[in-house]
Homo-oligomer: A and B are copies of this chain.
Amino acid sequence: MSEGGLEKCELCDSPGGEVIWENAICRVVLVADADYPGFCRVILNRHLREMTDLPHKERMQLMTVVFAVESAVRRLYQPDKVNLASLGNMTPHVHWHLIPRWRDDRQFPQPIWAATQRASAATPRQLVEGRQLGDQIIAALRIT
């Protein structure tokens, strides 16, 4: 349930995926998507709609986590590109999508929300456990 609101919010009511790292402000979940291994979401714990609804300090603390996840994903999965997005049209509770992209993935070079460009890549991507990714996030936060 959103703070003080009557509408149900799935990111208030559930973790939103396999939690691989968390702190007081946010949690990082691994999205189960065979086409995009390493796809993570960084979800704000409290229910706010926009990044600019957050106080400056907390906003930057959240971005520090987003970029630590980007570093961890780049290190472990070595994607051709990383896509970052905070949309929330359907679930207006601040959360960041962090999507590793490959030149032969289903939608490249389109965003993953666009029409499919091709079948899944013939060569399966490297699979990494959530725990390994969590360890890399901790390592990336240490050197921030």
Contact present for B83 and A86 (CB under 8 Å): yes
Cα–Cα distance between A49 and B56 once the two chains are bound (Å): 26
Confirm or deny: A76 has a beta carbon within 8 angstroms of a beta carbon on chain B. no
Work out how many copies of this chain go into the complex. 2
Residue contact B71 to A52, C-beta cutoff 8 Å: yes
A70 to B74, CA, bound (A): 27
**Could you tell me if B85 and A81 are in contact, using CB atoms closer than 8 angstroms?**
no
Asked if A126 is at the interface of the complex by the 8 Å CB criterion, the answer is: no
Any chain B CB within 8 A of the CB of A8?
Answer: no
With known contacts A85-B84, A111-B111, A115-B115, A74–B92 Cβ distance under 8 A: no
The count of residues in chain A whose C-beta lies closer than 8 Å to any C-beta of chain B is: 32
By the criterion CB–CB under 8 Å, are A85 and B85 in contact?
Answer: yes
* A interface residues (Cβ-Cβ under 8 A, vs B): 49-52, 56, 59-60, 63, 67, 70-71, 74, 81-90, 92, 101, 108-111, 113-115, 144
The 4 closest A-B pairs by CB, nearest first: A89-B109, A85-B85, A111-B113, A84-B86
